[in-house]
Amino acid sequence: MKFLTYFLLSILIAAGTLIAVPGMDSSVKAPPAAFGSNGQVAPGALLNGPSAVSMLNSLQVKGKAPATGFDRNAKFGNGWKDFDGDKCDERQETLTRDMSKVKYKDSKNCQLASGTLADAYTGTDINWKVNSGSVDIDHVVALKNVWISGGQQLSQDQRVAVANDPLNLMASQASANRSKGDRNAAEWLPSHKPFRCQYVATQISVKKKYALTVTAAEKDAMKSVLGTCATQKGAQITPVKLAGKNPVVAPHRKPSVQEKKPVATVERAKQVSPGAFCAAADAGAKGIGKKNGQPYICKASSADTRLRWR
């Protein structure tokens, strides 16, 4: 009986059913389930939340915002951060999560020296060593795509978070990551087709968490992928609260001829000779002395009923 219990527990653990890290979002920080006889692990965050299709349908569809002002370091933080406060940055955390046969070069098991990546983007195995350049940490939703799909409305802290969130990080073949660039799902998908459902579901989860939008073409591409895996789940996430939308200030530019406001025509004062008679039609009118530039009015006086420039 004891043997049977251990056997059942081992199956549940291998399937990922019992994996949980107290105090952390299990959809992000839980180590992935082992698969296959060689002990490889499946890269990426755990997706055990709502239906990916339902999450996709809840996203706002909107065109890309201008990329004006995008600066990777200034807007998303310079370098990797320690997202969970364990004194090991998110690059090292992601390599540890996504690789098997890992070896460390420090005593606290943080800095990796080597490992094997079952690369999900290409379906190939990579025997990686530090400084080899064969493995990158990909932002599943590229940071420039974050910027043009709502990231400009996030606070600085929220942008640093999405750049270091384990949900949005994945170890991948360097060349595949670089071929992807900042393209969305309508413009680029992993060549390894069995991974596309997980890839799209992860993107949807990141966009849902950080209140980001999708373009119409992007949504269509995601729906097409999920059409092959109707039961695909997204991650368990808690959406961020936006700090408040910042007003969009149009860049200063000179108005076109059509936009220029008409200048009101100013009637020039009549040049007059002080004391000279003036016509009845000019009664009450103002004039300027020809020589002295002083103001005068065409009017009568108590001693003289005739109109003069006085």
* Secondary structure element (H or E) that encloses residue 7, with its range: helix 2-15
> Which are the contacts of 95, defined by CB distance < 8 A and separation ≥ 6?
102, 112, 115, 135, 137, 171
> Which are the contacts of 131, defined by CB distance < 8 A and separation ≥ 6?
none
Q: What is the pLDDT of residue 284?
A: 83
Q: What is the pLDDT of residue 16?
A: 36
Q: What is the pLDDT of residue 268?
A: 58
112 forms beta bridges with: 104
Q: What is the pLDDT of residue 266?
A: 40
CB 239 within 8 A of CB 211: yes
CB 76 within 8 A of CB 92: no
Q: What is the pLDDT of residue 204?
A: 98
- Counting Cα atoms < 13 Å in the Cβ hemisphere of 296 gives 25
User: Could you give the CA distance from residue 218 to residue 82 in angstroms, rounded to a whole number?
Assistant: 31
Helices and strands (H, E) in the chain, number of each type: 10, 11
Q: What is the pLDDT of residue 244?
A: 56
User: Could you give the CA distance from residue 269 to residue 282 in angstroms, rounded to a whole number?
Assistant: 12
Beta-strand relationship, 40-41 and 270-272: unpaired
Distances (CA, A) of 265 to 262, 268: 9, 9
Q: What is the pLDDT of residue 299?
A: 86
Residue ranges in the chain whose pLDDT is less than 50: 1-37, 246-267
pLDDT 10s digits, 22-36? 233 433 444 443 443
Q: What is the pLDDT of residue 277?
A: 81
